[in-house]
Amino acid sequence: MQMIANGYTPFFDGNGTYIKNAEGTPLFRDAQGAVATVWGEAVPTGSPAYDNAGNQVPAFDANGLPMVDTKGQPVYADVYGTPIASELELAAIQMIANGYTAFLSVDGTYIKNAEGTPLFRDAQRGVVTITGESVPTGSPAYDDAGNQIPAFDANGLPMVDSKGQSVYADVYGTPM
């Protein structure tokens, strides 16, 4: 086979089956780790990897466990083994792996800070940014659409001030 004669080796998964591209073409690797098709065409970073059954290949964390995103869905790998996810999602996955909990609204979307960055809770129920920086009391909370989150009374109704204007909550749920 021409690829092997040119110094490429078949690209197998841990079970010994070919890794393929989206078209089902078997892939090969050279000594530097570059990936190419059976015809010698370079495969770019970010290209999904598939197994013999046509399923996307999962990404694995440092402990060898399949990665999941913040909503519990599988994270898949590209042909170089790199997780296919945004930098923000990868940072969120790392926060969760480090013991933080995603700070989600009742509809399952992230609670965010004024910059639109997802927030997390630490073990003491404190609120932190995606970089682990503490968020102080009085910092406004926003939903996925960028709307400030309203404060709710003991009956679960949105709070209003004496002028009938909405009262908003900080990241700890305290009316501001």
pLDDT tens digits along 18-33: 889 888 888 999 888 8
Query: Residue 119 CB: number of other CB atoms within 10 A?
Result: 22
Task: Please give the helix or strand (H or E) that residue 89 lies within, else none.
Answer: helix 87-97
Q: Output the pLDDT for position 43.
A: 92
Residue 14 has pLDDT above 80, yes or no: no
pLDDT band with cut points at 50, 70 and 90 for residue 94: confident
Mean pLDDT of 72-99: 85
Sign of the alpha-carbon torsion through 169, 170, 173, 176: negative
Whether residue 137 is contained in a domain is answered as: yes
Instruction: State how far the Cα of 134 lies from the Cα of 30, in Å rounded to an integer.
Output: 46
Provide the domain count of the chain.
1
Mean pLDDT of 169-173: 91
Please list, residue by residue across 48-75, b when 16 or more beta carbons sit within 10 angstroms of its beta carbon and e when fewer do: ebbeeeeebbbbeeeeeeebebbeeeeb
Residue 1 has pLDDT above 60, yes or no: no
Q: Output the pLDDT for position 98.
A: 85
Q: Output the pLDDT for position 65.
A: 83
Instruction: State how far the Cα of 57 lies from the Cα of 15, in Å rounded to an integer.
Output: 12
Residue 79 has pLDDT above 70, yes or no: yes
Q: Output the pLDDT for position 144.
A: 82
| Residue partners of 36: CB distance under 8 A and separation at least 6 | 3, 8, 27, 28, 29, 30, 42, 43
Residue 106 is part of which domain span?
A: 86-176
Report the length, in residues, of the chain.
176
Eight-class DSSP state of 111: P
Whether residue 114 is contained in a domain is answered as: yes
Residues 115-155 have pLDDT tens digits of 888 899 998 989 999 888 899 999 999 988 889 999 999 99
Instruction: State how far the Cα of 151 lies from the Cα of 165, in Å rounded to an integer.
Output: 12
Whether residue 10 is contained in a domain is answered as: no
Q: Which amino acid is at 69?
A: D
Whether residue 111 is contained in a domain is answered as: yes
Contact predicate 21/37, CB 8 Å: yes
Whether residue 4 is contained in a domain is answered as: no
Whether residue 58 is contained in a domain is answered as: no
